[in-house]
Structure 1
Amino acid sequence: MPFISSIDSALAAFASFVWGTPLLVLLVGGGLALLIYSRGRPYRHLGHSIDLLRGKYDNPDDPGQVPHRQALSTALSGTLGLGNISGVAIAISTGGPGAILWMWVTALVGVATKFYTASLAVMFRGRDSAGELQGGPMYVIREGLGKKWMPLALLFAVAGLCGLLPVFQSNQTVQLLRESFAVPFGWISADNSLWFDFIVGCVLATAALVVIAGRIQRIGKFAVRIVPAMVVFYLVLTLVVIGSFWQQVPAAFALIFSDAFTGRAVAGGALGAVIATGVSRGAFSNEAGIGTESLAHGAAKTREPIREGVVAMTGPIIDTLVICTCTALVILLTGAWQGDEGIAGVSLTTEAFSQVFGGWGPIMLLIMVLPLAFSTIVTFWYYGVKCFVFLFGTRWQNFYTAAYIVLIVIGAVASLSAVNNLIIGMYAVMAVPTMISTLLLAKQVNRAAHNYFTARDLEESAGEKPKT
């Protein structure tokens, strides 16, 4: 229908516009400004994050809902998954190997961004309508900047409500199961899969409801078990591939660096296109500055905002510098990126693994992706319900949960290109209030960081035990 087609085109144009150069400048330029403003101080305390994640400073009496490691696992469960597999492949197929270097740049400045956003999420926690302590960009804006900035807080909450729906995740999860498992094994035919999609959608919805019923505490416990296990599993897979081609590893890194500045390969010599591709894929991968990470880190049990900032800044390192780099090396070392032009996205990564593991390659990827995709679905419910409660209060949140569960099933069986474009576009809109508020309140984070790290250094020099 012409009307539906025009809506699809308009939403596609909207998504393309909001993920354009202005947003990338805000995310990367803002992150670089924060890096310079902090004088690189957070980077010098990465080792401290290990102690925090080990629970060395945990205190069950601190305000918040979950320990540091569960907050980080919840945040990572919203970023790890198909983006690390298909996103890297898309970057290489559209921008060439050099796009990976610009993904690394995004991650390096994203470390500073997440340090500030997560610190602020704890520093300016606020009460919802039921009196429960909450964190996230909308509360940072309300508590830290005041009522005159409330339109920014409302913008984030509305964008989050639209951008954190489960239809895309359920749609892609079912598609991956169907194309990598059900169709190849002859369970269903490619053109007659509606019943399969519906059944899987119902299973996903039921499983999600079980986890969601436990709220952030159960989500955190689920994520802290699933995320580290799947990360280790994927690293083992990639290391096997890298080990098979270990002699070519230096050449692969050399190709990434040289192509990043020559702009050859698929980008047709356009250096700007290589940079834009790498930056956009990196930003979409680690979500630094989008604000979703603050919704998770704001629930951490701590009285020290800087501690959660130190924990959060490990996210881009794990997500982009480690996982995405491993995926890139697999694609480059196997030569899959130079194969058929029609192979792109997750199919490109699958082809690369198949060259080493044969028919087991797609199955192994499926084992890794499915739990992470499901964890993203339940994590997005938590993010979305926080936005809903901020806008409408806690009284009606069960209606949101019911609608969310139904949308999991709808997403599994429907072709939702228009809705997906809306989700992707609104996801980008969240970055505007997040980055503006972070830059405006950065001075307070710097002051708190100076006090915290100075006190910690004095304790260590005096040989005192860490204070919780």
Structure 2
Amino acid sequence: MESFLVAFSDAAWGLPLLLLLMGGGTFFMLYSRFLPFRYLGHSLDVLRGKYDDPDDPGDINHFEALSSALAATVGMGNISGVAVAITVGGPGVLFWMWVSAFVGMATKFFTCSLAVMYRGKDSNGHVEGGPMYVIIEGLGKKWMPLSIFFAIAGLFGALPIFTANQLTQVIREVVLVPNGIGFTDPFYSDLSIGLVLVLITSLVIFGGIKRIGHVAGKMVPGMVLLYMAAVFYIMAANYTSIPGAFALIFTDAFTAEAMLGGAVGAIIIAGARRAAFSNEAGIGTASMMHGAAKTDEPIREGLVAMLGPLIDTLVVCTLTGVAIIVTGTWDDSGANGVSVTAAAFNDAMPGFGSYILVLCVLIFAFTSLFSYSYYGTKCFGFLFGAKYKYYYNYFYVFTIVLGATASITAVISLIDGMYAMMAIPTMTSALLLSPKVMAAAKDYFRRMREFRESEKLKV
């Protein structure tokens, strides 16, 4: 099974998908004339609630929507996913993650604007957003097979198995084993951890999107600041290695001498693959969360959503990558996944660094576990009816146990492959409907200019 999943993932992440994600994102950036980057200030105003209206349609405010989306994206992909990418593809992978993040900001602007622009209704008549609704509301009922394709892939792409796997690994290797705690058979140790994760996750996810949004809004800012502080300490402790680390990132991005047989194309794919896993630009998951925002202005939500790749990849992933490179733990052939990042923390902060990482991992992982369940329930409700969607959560928490006891190779290959499948309908619909977004953007910013001018006249 593991070899099949690896083959499926490698085939899915071939050149065609790279062109769709990176090429599509580049098109969005140029077509919008770099609009997402020109209105960063306005996006921050929207985020801090300047334009919030409690009477607008939706379930959660702009800040909660971004926090909930970040709760899923700023997770194990930033800690373990980056480590996997660098150990497999070399430090140059980080450069291509940056490139993916820049084009991903434009992609998020388009896909999440569409998620509000073309919201549909589930079988209970509740307003919903996401690629499956964008496709049928924006492109028409004849495109229904593409919506179904996305929803099926989303059922598996949103599973918590990678997060559960890496959280279990860090608890076992950093907390239990060094302190002589655990079972004779590692399987039972992992199973026990998995069951505890199930219990904690269940307490939140069965409360629905409003509870998820409330919890994420409280936890996400703190978790990002804590992680940033820890990594800045690591960088300060290894400040002499920082120039060399960045030099290695840039040179390895184009020479790729050490890894993957020197194939620069493979390095680019590895970077785009891990960036997509981390910030989800073009995948469609974040569109489902932003589609639940309380607003009747699609462009506002697109502007808020574009901050996701900036925070997730350009900030958090970069911090992880630099910490791994300056400490040299990426070159340890005996480590994998989150163990590489743990080694970097322990190298800079002997005796307690790995415990700080455990605390960060716990917060990162649980916020991801909470948010991903929402994506799966939306896909399940779209396929089988809204009144049945919460049954997905029982399957969801069951797979936490599977993820805790499975191998990292099988787990990451399954999620990678399903992300690739989700990207096809998400990017296809966004590219076809991009003129609608630009027309709405021109109208929105015209109205904003007129509003500011009228406010000046009043003064």
TM-score (ref. length: structure 1): 0.92
Provide the residue aligned with 1:402 in structure 2: 394
Cα distance change, pair 345–169 in 1 and its aligned pair in 2 (3 A): closer
Provide the residue aligned with 1:343 in structure 2: 335
Structure 2 counterpart of 1:285, from 278, 289, 300: 278
Output the amino acid matched with 1:39: R
Structure 1 counterpart of 2:108, from 111, 114, 122: 114
Cα distance change, pair 258–9 in 1 and its aligned pair in 2 (3 A): closer
Provide the residue aligned with 2:372 in structure 1: 380
Mean CA deviation greater in 356-365 or 443-452 = 356-365
Where do residues 6-85 of structure 1 align in structure 2 (5 Å cutoff)?
7-85=1-79
8 Å CA contact 1:98, 1:263 repeated in 2 = yes
Shift of 1:224: 1.1
8 Å CA contact 2:162, 2:403 repeated in 1 = yes
For the pair 1:164 / 2:158, whether they are aligned, the reply is yes
Cα distance change, pair 67–347 in 1 and its aligned pair in 2 (3 A): same
Output the amino acid matched with 1:266: M
8 Å CA contact 2:121, 2:128 repeated in 1 = yes
Output the amino acid matched with 1:402: Y
Taking the aligned partners of 1:97 and 1:417, their CA distance within structure 2 comes to 20
Cα distance change, pair 238–139 in 1 and its aligned pair in 2 (3 A): same
For the pair 1:134 / 2:106, whether they are aligned, the reply is no
Structure 2 counterpart of 1:249, from 239, 242, 247: 242
Shift of 1:301: 0.4
Structure 2 counterpart of 1:305, from 290, 298, 307: 298
Shift of 1:416: 8.6
Taking the aligned partners of 1:136 and 1:464, their CA distance within structure 2 comes to 38
Structure 2 counterpart of 1:452, from 414, 428, 444: 444
* Regions of 4+ moved over 6 Å: none
Taking the aligned partners of 1:397 and 1:442, their CA distance within structure 2 comes to 30
Output the amino acid matched with 1:279: A
For the pair 1:412 / 2:404, whether they are aligned, the reply is yes
Deviations, residues 197-224 of structure 1 (Å, cap 9, x unaligned): 3333232222222212321110001111
Deviations, residues 97-146 of structure 1 (Å, cap 9, x unaligned): 22211111000000000000100000000110001000000000011100
Deviations, residues 133-173 of structure 1 (Å, cap 9, x unaligned): 00000000011100111110000011111222233332332
Mean CA deviation greater in 122-131 or 164-173 = 164-173
Shift of 1:74: 0.9
Shift of 1:315: 0.6
Taking the aligned partners of 1:240 and 1:419, their CA distance within structure 2 comes to 32
Give the fraction of aligned pairs with identical amino acids, expressed as a percent.
Answer: 53
Output the amino acid matched with 1:192: D
Cα distance change, pair 284–418 in 1 and its aligned pair in 2 (3 A): closer
Residue 226 of structure 2: SS of its match in structure 1?
helix
Taking the aligned partners of 1:373 and 1:280, their CA distance within structure 2 comes to 20
Shift of 1:247: 4.1
Taking the aligned partners of 1:261 and 1:196, their CA distance within structure 2 comes to 43
Count of residues paired in the alignment: 457
Shift of 1:87: 2.2
Provide the residue aligned with 1:4 in structure 2: none
Cα distance change, pair 304–20 in 1 and its aligned pair in 2 (3 A): same
Shift of 1:181: 0.8
Taking the aligned partners of 2:356 and 2:421, their CA distance within structure 1 comes to 35
Cα distance change, pair 399–260 in 1 and its aligned pair in 2 (3 A): closer
For the pair 1:145 / 2:115, whether they are aligned, the reply is no
Structure 2 counterpart of 1:433, from 412, 420, 425: 425
8 Å CA contact 1:96, 1:259 repeated in 2 = yes
Cα distance change, pair 444–464 in 1 and its aligned pair in 2 (3 A): farther
Residue 39 of structure 2: SS of its match in structure 1?
helix
Unaligned runs of 5+ in 2: none
For the pair 1:334 / 2:334, whether they are aligned, the reply is no
Residue 56 of structure 2: SS of its match in structure 1?
coil
Mean CA deviation greater in 257-266 or 144-153 = 257-266
Output the amino acid matched with 1:314: L
Mean CA deviation greater in 19-28 or 109-118 = 19-28
For the pair 1:226 / 2:219, whether they are aligned, the reply is yes
Provide the residue aligned with 2:262 in structure 1: 269
8 Å CA contact 2:403, 2:411 repeated in 1 = no
8 Å CA contact 2:206, 2:393 repeated in 1 = no
8 Å CA contact 1:122, 1:305 repeated in 2 = yes
Structure 1 counterpart of 2:229, from 236, 258, 263: 236
Shift of 1:341: 2.8
Cα distance change, pair 10–266 in 1 and its aligned pair in 2 (3 A): closer
Structure 1 counterpart of 2:347, from 343, 351, 355: 355
8 Å CA contact 1:97, 1:265 repeated in 2 = no
Shift of 1:312: 0.4
Cα distance change, pair 399–349 in 1 and its aligned pair in 2 (3 A): closer
8 Å CA contact 1:84, 1:324 repeated in 2 = yes
Taking the aligned partners of 1:447 and 1:298, their CA distance within structure 2 comes to 19
For the pair 1:181 / 2:147, whether they are aligned, the reply is no
What is the root-mean-square deviation of aligned Cα atoms in Å?
2.0
Mean CA deviation greater in 264-273 or 119-128 = 264-273
TM-score (ref. length: structure 2): 0.94
Residue 265 of structure 1: SS of its match in structure 2?
coil
Provide the residue aligned with 1:3 in structure 2: none
8 Å CA contact 1:205, 1:405 repeated in 2 = yes
Taking the aligned partners of 1:8 and 1:94, their CA distance within structure 2 comes to 18
